[in-house]
Structure 1
Amino acid sequence: MDYTATQSGFRQQPSMRLRNNAADGPQHASQLFDDTSGAGPGAHSGGYRTPLAGHEAGAFVGQNLMSDPMSNLAMAYGSSLASQGREMVDKNLDRFIPISKLKYYFAVDTLYVGKKLGLVMFPYMHENWEVSYQQDTPVAPRFDVNAPDLYIPAMGFITYVLVAGLALGTQNRFSPELLGVQASSAFVWLVMEVLAILLSLYLVTVNTDLTTIDLLAFSGYKYIGMIVGIVAGLMFGRSAYYLSLLWCCVAIFVFMIRTLRLKLLSESAAEGRLVRGARNQLRMYLTMTIAAAQPIFMYWLTYHLIR
């Protein structure tokens, strides 16, 4: 009897719950779930927040931060310092290297590059060496083969480093460290050359429109002859290296004389006769010195690459 009651108790308890739920009706059954359709963000059970509530809270915090006077003052002060620092850097850079004018020196095309390479290698037949101007402004290099550019010197420097690495590799002397030394030494010599020219122009008190970038461009054209000499030496031996380098040295000497002569003598017409004669001699000596230094650098930076 007890066993039957116990068994009946276990069996009748779930059925009693079902009957009670059925008697309560659908309205009572629906309350098993929380009705959140009309509740606000803070009425959700369990402390959970919807994405909308989190977004609104973040916006509220951001508004408080932006409305803080100290935060606004700090942001304004930081932006002012950044703008002043940028202006100071631009001014100091433009004092030595006019960065804003670099676009002019890279305004080249394929036709200009071909003509310029031919002019550097064969300057003997070229007659007009004056740079063309348009409204007191020199025209872009792609319109005038006499205008200086930085594209050919930059590509020449990179190609020279690569060819030097090839020459070292053919002699089983290649190493990344040695190639880095080769590139850094060529760059240092170029910088020293430009600084020496600027110092000479200052000491001789020559008034000229030559800029630092112009000097970099003219000094960088010698890499063309250096590349030709190294390639000729690698292909045909040491004799070919000397012959080709000799041709390139004479060509770059003539090119520099005829180019810099107009740049350095452009201000002599406005001076007196005696002063003009004395300063013309100094300008010519300076022009010949700059031109004669190009073959020396060409040989110094290439002779050890050919064996």
Structure 2
Amino acid sequence: MYENLGAPQGGPRPPSNTQSNPLENAFYGASSGLIRGGLGAYGERILGSSSEYVQSNISRYFSDPQYYFQVNDRYVRNKLKVVLFPFLHRGHWTRVTEPVGGRLSYKPPIYDINAPDLYIPFMVFGTYIVLAGFSLGIHGKFSPEALSWIFIKGLVGWFLQFVLLKASLISLGSGEAPFLDIIAYAGYTFTGMCLAVLGGIIWSYSYYFLMPWTGLCMAIFLVKTMKRVLFSEVRSHESSKQHYLLLIIASAQFPLFVWLGNVGFHWLF
């Protein structure tokens, strides 16, 4: 009964004004087109440029993590030979490039022995922890706490090696080397470390021979590698400063190896 309240009973209804002003429609269409077109394009340009900026910086500093795990058995064997016996490496130390998407890119480790990888550093780091735990067990010092300290000690040593290499590049104004490249180069330290700890387990006196030997081999490997990075990829021309930095990198390997190779209860010793 309340549906027709207030409405005239019968008779024609007043016509409703359903037509709008054509000038208003034109103005509304133009303004909405401006908002959708101009502001939309502007926002897309901002978001697109920021996305490209983020992607370019990620690729510059972190690269592609999958790239560092493209390895096979042949690469692992040859890479271990290069790290443990760098003076026997008769080939060149430069990395192999290939055109990808209109620009040059480095080939993955499976195709280039000089490319850095993360498979070997992670594997030798785990092996170092296992061998250190086994050495503690032989000397009757094994405990979960001792193994935890060895793990922390290894991580600190890896970090110190990374800081040394990164600081060397930054001091020359060339700190844009890929982050994972430097992580990989620093992680190769545990390759020789495993050999020294294993030798100490088999024959305790061999430790005093293997430790300086593996430290020397790691020094040669890093000097050759960083020399390539500094001279070829970075193209810095401060040769005297580069030589001093390379000497510092090589000299730092011996105390680092002695510290990491001394498998004790506390990570400071």
CA distance in 2, matches of 1:254, 1:190: 18
Q: For the structure 1 residues 267 and 182, does the alpha-carbon distance in structure 2 shift closer, same or farther, using more than 3 Å as the test? A: closer
Name 1:229's counterpart in structure 2.
196
Whole-Å separation in 2 of the counterparts to 1:257 and 1:200: 12
Q: Which runs of 4+ in 1 moved over 4 A?
A: none
The answer to whether structure 1 residue 250 and structure 2 residue 179 are counterparts is no
8 Å CA contact retained: 1:208, 1:266: no
- 1:140 matched to 2:140: no
> Could you tell me how far apart the structure 1 residues matched to 2:133 and 2:96 are?
39
Q: Write the distance in 1 (CA, Å) between the matches of 2:254 and 2:140.
A: 28
Matched, 1:126 2:89: yes
Residue segments in structure 2 that go unaligned for 5+ positions in a row:
1-50
How do residues 68-83 of structure 1 correspond to structure 2 at under 5 angstroms? none
Q: Say if 2:216 and 2:253, in contact at 8 Å, map to a contact too.
A: no
Code of the residue aligned with 1:222 in structure 2: it is T
RMSD of aligned C-alpha atoms? 2.6
Distance 1:268 1:159 in 2: 33
Cα offset, 1:246, TM superposition: 2.2
Q: Does 1:298 align with 2:266?
A: no
Answering whether residue 247 of structure 2 is matched by residue 288 of structure 1, we say yes
Asked if 1 retains the 8 angstrom alpha-carbon contact of 2:211 and 2:261, the reply is no
Unaligned runs of 5+ residues in structure 1 are 1-86
More helix by share: 1
Q: Report how far residue 200 of structure 1 moved.
A: 3.7
Q: Are the structure 2 counterparts of residues 299 and 152 from structure 1 closer, same or farther at C-alpha, using a change threshold of 3 Å?
A: same
Q: Output the CA distance in 1 between the equivalents of 2:218 and 2:163.
A: 20
May I ask how many residue pairs the two structures share in their alignment?
Answer: 208
- Residues 251-284 of structure 1 show CA distances to partners (whole Å, capped at 9, x for unaligned) of 1111111111011112676x7xxxx3xx111122
Counterpart position of 1:194: 162
CA distance in 2, matches of 1:294, 1:168: 24
Alignment of structure 1 residues 79-90 onto 2, 5 Å: none
Contact residue 61 and residue 177 of structure 2 kept, 8 A = no
Task: State how far apart, in whole Å, the 2-side matches of 1:143 and 1:220 are.
Answer: 20
Q: C-alpha separation between the residues in 1 aligned to 2:157 and 2:84?
A: 22
What amino acid is aligned across from residue 84 of structure 2 in structure 1?
Answer: M
The structure-2 alpha-carbon separation of the partners of 1:94 and 1:184, relative to structure 1 and needing over 3 Å to count, comes to farther
**Residue in structure 2 matched with residue 169 of structure 1 by the alignment:** 137
Deviations 1:41-86 (A, max 9, x none): xxxxxxxxxxxxxxxxxxxxxxxxxxxxxxxxxxxxxxxxxxxxxx
User: Which amino acid in structure 2 is aligned with residue 132 of structure 1?
Assistant: V
Equivalent residue runs for 1:11-90 within 5 Å? none
The aligned counterpart of 2:45 is: none
SS of the residue corresponding to residue 134 of structure 2 reads helix
Please tell me whether the aligned partners of residues 106 and 151 of structure 1 are also in contact (alpha carbons under 8 angstroms): yes
* Paired residue secondary structure (1:173): coil
Higher relative contact order (CA 8 A, sep 6+): 2
1:159-188 per-position Cα deviation (integer Å, ceiling 9, x unaligned): 100111000111111111110111012102
